[in-house]
């Protein structure tokens, strides 16, 4: 299992389009991906789960992956979030 | 009532209050023998919704570009959500509940988590979830897809909020104006309304209470005002204002087919700046001579992986073909700075505008850069293509970028792929260093395009995103004017032409000054093109040159501004000086 914390930098938080890109990237990996915000943890390949986290700008997310390519998955997702999802608002 | 003007223009017509349709879901048990059929029924509803959404998505992508279509990609992902499908399948198979109820419960559960109404960001997310919920429920309990089909006559649509899928149904002929209680200027509804030329005012609290279906309403998207049941006097005033707007518009529109030529016959190439391939059509609509700046970053941003050469080629070709025989300047990727693409390994920088961006970035990613150049060269077989590199600060960078172009041309020739081997290659002049080595740069480039936005911030050492420095952003600062003149002279000394593609060119008065400073081409915001053209047609080249000579002798931006007003205001036509808001 690989874990990492990451901060949401986008001004409007984890909005619908960012969740969509997150799911697209997460789904490229075989590993199961989970995202925790506060007490709630959801499937990182479920866009509705991610949207339901209601994560705002500045929220800390814990990424967790389990499976053969778990390290790559966590690294890629961490970079994605840190880059503000490629420069979205 | 007032709100936020989200799309300019005035719409007058009968109101249609659109309320979210009631899709009441009845609960009933599913017989064990029927569970497979119920699961199939649910999957079919998803499949139909997916088909509808894809159609909308592709329509929006073609009209407004890929980045506006991204919201529909997210909606499509909701239909494929693994947890959603697991929950609905299990609700049907294990609890024998019907698909409509289980589906609605799951979606409502997500929406409930976003119910803190005071937060606009969360409200928007909730609206998207509910939009997808309604879309699928229509197939589970209702009669399938719906849209703005409830409009029997052209109307002013008044609603609390409108989901992305309803917005896509807006048709210019049927929707005369839009009033929403929610949303901002950058909301999806606002963007689509602007794209289709429908006047819109958003953020009007209490609009659905105040409006009654069938009443006459006036929507003024330029001022952000809405009037339900206007009295006679107001209606008369609106008609006058509408008439004036239409008249000003007509006069400027008549310029469409006329050249951007001074009174003494000096011709200027007047183009527009675009960001999305879908905007190419606007160039023809406003009568532009060219696209003087096609920013190509959109391909790289807001997505998870690199665009393929093929994908870029298809889009570039479409733009080149539409404009032909008019030229299109493709500015190669200007990533970094305020635009980052995570998968290219850009990282946070403390000073991104002085950092890893523009050509610096491109030369470090030759494979990515080469794919873009190949796409542009392939498109060059289908129109008149020019290439321009951003952020050049010395001759070495220009040489290396040009060498890549030569490689690409040789490669395409060997492979027998059609292309134009004589594509003009130029540079953006936007750094002070480029200004001061412009004599060297002019040897190797076919043209300069002066990017004033960055040139101003680099020359004046002021961050244009810093609000406390806003007063220092002075396009007319003597240092800026001297830089422009210096670069223009260096280009002309080598027989090269000079363009300006920053915001400075979009102001009609400043455009005249730029002409006097030596600009042969101006690339402006499409919306301002008619006024800039009218300004050019209102002066002689000699007047513009005299104005520039005088301006170069003045010590401050304020005095230059005064000079410009004193010189041009008596000469230029009224519809150029007073812009879109005659009252």
Q: Do A24 and B77 touch (CB under 8 A)?
A: yes
Distance of alpha carbon B515 from alpha carbon B542, whole angstroms = 10
Active site (annotated) includes residue B405? no
How deeply is B467 buried, as exposed, middle or buried, from its count of CB atoms within 10 A (0-12, 13-18, 19+)? exposed
pLDDT digits (tens, 9 = 90+) for B214-257: 889 999 988 889 999 888 888 888 888 777 777 777 777 788 88
Q: Where are the domains positioned within chain B? A: 22-140, 149-234, 260-576
Q: Do A51 and B114 touch (CB under 8 A)?
A: yes
> Which member of B121, B300, B304 has the closest CB to residue A25?
B304
Pairing of the two strands A40-43 and A2-7? unpaired
CA of B120 vs chain A CAs: smallest distance (Å): 9
Q: Is B25 within 8 Å of B229 (Cβ atoms)? A: no
CA angle B429–B434–B438, rounded 5-degree value: 95
Tell me what pLDDT residue B174 has. 83
CATH number of B260-576: 3.20.20.60
A87 touching B (Cβ < 8 Å) = yes
Tell me what pLDDT residue B298 has. 77
Q: Is B520 within 8 Å of B267 (Cβ atoms)? A: no
All residues of chain B having their beta carbon less than 8 Å from the beta carbon of residue A54 are 113-114, 116, 122, 125
A6 touching B (Cβ < 8 Å) = no
CA angle B376–B70–A53, rounded 5-degree value: 140
Interface confidence, given as ipTM, is 0.93
Measured CA to CA in angstroms, residue B358 lies from B340, B428, B438 at distances of 11, 10, 18
Q: Is B2 within 8 Å of B204 (Cβ atoms)? A: yes
> Which member of B110, B124, B339 has the closest CB to residue A87?
B339
pLDDT digits (tens, 9 = 90+) for A17-64: 999 999 999 999 999 999 999 999 999 999 999 999 999 989 999 999
DSSP conformation class of B332: P
Catalytic residue, candidates A15, A37, A45, A64: A15
Q: Do A48 and B122 touch (CB under 8 A)?
A: no
CB atoms inside a 10 Å sphere around CB B77: 23
pTM value?
0.58
B339 touching A (Cβ < 8 Å) = yes
> Which member of A16, A24, A52 has the closest CB to residue B71?
A16
DSSP conformation class of B2: B
- Per the structure, the count of domains in chain A is 1
Q: Do B110 and A52 touch (CB under 8 A)?
A: yes
Q: Do A54 and B348 touch (CB under 8 A)?
A: no
> Which member of B71, B121, B339 has the closest CB to residue A17?
B71
Token pair for residue B459? 């020359």
37-66 in A: which are within 8 Å (CB) of B?
42-43, 45-49, 51-54, 56
**Positions in chain B whose pLDDT score sits under 50:** 579-583
Full DSSP string of B56-101: HHHHHHHHH-HHHHHHHHHHHHHHT-HHHHHHHHHHHHHH-B-HHH
Top-level class of domain B22-140: mainly alpha
Place of tokens 């997210």: B74
Tell me what pLDDT residue B142 has. 66
Buried residues in B293-327 as b, exposed as e (16+ CB within 10 A) = bbbbbbbbbbbbebbebeebbebbbbbbebbeebb
Strand order, beta sheet including B175-180:
B4-7, B200-202, B175-180, B155-159, B10-18, B216-220, B225-228
All residues of chain A having their beta carbon less than 8 Å from the beta carbon of residue B125 are 15-16, 51, 54
- Paired strand residues for B16: B157
- What separation, in Å, do the N-terminal and C-terminal C-alpha atoms of chain B show? 18
Torsion on CA atoms B364, B370, B372, B376, rounded to nearest 10:
140
Q: Do B81 and A48 touch (CB under 8 A)?
A: yes
Q: Is B280 within 8 Å of B322 (Cβ atoms)? A: yes
> Which member of B124, B301, B342 has the closest CB to residue A80?
B342
Q: Do A79 and B301 touch (CB under 8 A)?
A: no
Full DSSP string of B177-213: EEEESS--TTSHHHHHHHHTT--EEE--TTHHHH--T
Q: Does A89 score more than 50 pLDDT?
A: yes
Measured CA to CA in angstroms, residue A51 lies from B31, B97, B364, B481 at distances of 34, 25, 36, 50
All residues of chain A having their beta carbon less than 8 Å from the beta carbon of residue B73 are 17, 20
All residues of chain A having their beta carbon less than 8 Å from the beta carbon of residue B110 are 48, 51-52
Mapping DSSP to helix (H, G, I), strand (E, B) and coil, where does residue B429 land?
Answer: strand
Fold for B149-234, please state it: Glucose Oxidase; domain 1 (3.50.30)
A20 touching B (Cβ < 8 Å) = yes
pLDDT digits (tens, 9 = 90+) for B374-394: 999 999 999 999 999 999 999
All residues of chain B having their beta carbon less than 8 Å from the beta carbon of residue A16 are 71, 74, 124-125, 128
Give the CATH number of the domain where residue A11 resides.
3.30.1340.10
Q: Do B77 and A23 touch (CB under 8 A)?
A: yes
All residues of chain B having their beta carbon less than 8 Å from the beta carbon of residue A15 are 121, 124-125
Q: Which residue of A has its CA nearest to B81?
A: A46
B78 touching A (Cβ < 8 Å) = yes
B86 touching A (Cβ < 8 Å) = no
> Which member of A43, A51, A84 has the closest CB to residue B129?
A51
Distance of alpha carbon B271 from alpha carbon B330, whole angstroms = 13
Same fold, B149-234 and B260-576: no
Q: Do A86 and B125 touch (CB under 8 A)?
A: no
B511 touching A (Cβ < 8 Å) = no
Q: Is B485 within 8 Å of B459 (Cβ atoms)? A: no
Tell me what pLDDT residue B581 has. 38
Place of tokens 């501004």: B561
Domain membership of residue A23 as a residue range: 2-87
CA of B230 vs chain A CAs: smallest distance (Å): 38
Active site (annotated) includes residue B578? no
How deeply is B387 buried, as exposed, middle or buried, from its count of CB atoms within 10 A (0-12, 13-18, 19+)? buried
Q: Do A83 and B340 touch (CB under 8 A)?
A: yes
> Which member of B78, B82, B302 has the closest CB to residue A86?
B302
Tell me what pLDDT residue B197 has. 79
CA of A65 vs chain B CAs: smallest distance (Å): 17
């Amino acid at each position: 299992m690989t874990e990492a914390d990451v901060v949401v930098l986008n001004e409007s938080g984890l909005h619908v389009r960012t969740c969509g890109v997150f799911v697209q990237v997460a789904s490229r990996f075989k590993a199961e991906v989970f995202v925790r915000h506060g007490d709630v943890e959801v499937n990182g390949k479920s866009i509705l789960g991610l949207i339901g986290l209601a994560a705002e700008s500045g929220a800390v997310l814990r990424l967790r992956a389990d499976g053969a390519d778990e390290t790559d998955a966590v690294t890629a997702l961490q970079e994605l979030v840190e880059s503000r999802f490629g420069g979205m608002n | 009532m007032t709100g936020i003007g989200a799309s300019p223009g005035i719409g007058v017509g009968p109101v249609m209050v659109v309320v979210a349709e009631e899709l009441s879901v009845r609960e009933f048990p599913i017989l064990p023998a029927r569970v497979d059929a119920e699961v199939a029924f649910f999957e079919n509803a998803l499949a139909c919704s997916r088909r509808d959404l894809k159609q909308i998505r592709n329509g929006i992508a073609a009209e407004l570009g890929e980045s506006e279509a991204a919201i529909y990609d997210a909606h499509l992902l909701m239909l494929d959500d693994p947890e959603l499908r697991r929950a609905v399948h299990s609700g049907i198979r294990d609890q024998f509940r019907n698909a409509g109820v289980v589906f609605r419960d799951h979606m409502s559960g997500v929406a409930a988590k976003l119910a803190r109404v005071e937060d606009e960001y969360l409200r928007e997310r909730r609206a998207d979830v509910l939009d997808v919920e309604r879309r699928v429920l229509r197939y589970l309990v209702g009669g399938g897809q719906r849209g703005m089909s409830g409009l029997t006559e052209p109307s002013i649509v008044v609603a609390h909020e409108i989901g992305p899928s309803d917005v896509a149904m807006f048709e210019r002929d049927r929707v005369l104006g839009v009033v929403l209680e929610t949303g901002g200027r950058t909301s999806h509804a606002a963007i689509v309304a602007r794209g289709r030329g429908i006047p819109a005012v958003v953020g009007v609290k209490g609009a659905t209470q105040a409006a009654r279906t069938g009443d006459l309403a006036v929507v003024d998207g330029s001022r952000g005002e809405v009037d339900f049941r206007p009295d006679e006097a107001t209606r008369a005033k609106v008609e006058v204002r509408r008439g004036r707007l239409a008249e000003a518009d007509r006069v400027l529109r008549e310029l469409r087919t006329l050249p951007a030529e001074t009174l003494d016959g000096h011709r200027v190439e007047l183009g527009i700046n675009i960001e999305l391939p879908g905007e190419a059509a606007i160039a023809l609509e406003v009568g532009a001579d060219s696209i003087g700046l096609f920013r190509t970053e959109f391909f790289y941003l807001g997505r998870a992986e690199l665009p393929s050469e093929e994908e870029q080629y298809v889009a570039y070709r479409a733009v080149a073909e539409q404009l032909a025989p008019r030229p299109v300047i493709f500015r190669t990727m200007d990533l970094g700075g305020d635009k980052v693409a995570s998968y290219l390994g850009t990282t946070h920088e403390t000073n991104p505008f002085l950092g890893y961006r523009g050509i610096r970035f491109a030369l470090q990613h030759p494979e990515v850069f080469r794919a873009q150049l190949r796409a542009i060269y392939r498109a060059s077989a289908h129109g008149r293509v020019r290439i321009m590199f951003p952020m050049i600060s010395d001759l070495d960078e220009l040489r290396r970028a040009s060498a890549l172009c030569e490689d690409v041309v040789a490669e395409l020739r060997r492979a027998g792929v059609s292309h134009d081997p004589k594509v003009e290659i130029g540079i953006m002049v936007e750094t002070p260093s480029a200004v001061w080595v412009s004599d060297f740069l002019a040897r190797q480039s076919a043209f300069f395009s002066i990017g004033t936005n960055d040139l101003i911030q680099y020359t004046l050492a002021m961050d244009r995103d810093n609000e406390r420095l806003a007063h220092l952003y002075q396009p007319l600062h003597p240092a800026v004017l001297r830089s422009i003149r210096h670069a223009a002279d260096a280009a002309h000394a080598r027989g090269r032409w000079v363009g300006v593609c920053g915001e400075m060119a979009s102001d009609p008065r400043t455009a005249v000054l730029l002409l006097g400073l030596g600009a042969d081409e101006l690339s402006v915001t499409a919306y301002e093109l008619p006024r800039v053209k009218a300004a050019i047609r209102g002066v002689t080249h000699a007047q513009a040159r005299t104005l520039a000579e005088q301006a170069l002798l003045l010590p401050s931006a304020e005095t230059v501004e005064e000079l410009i007003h004193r010189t041009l205001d008596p000469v230029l036509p009224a519809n150029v000086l007073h812009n879109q808001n005659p009252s």
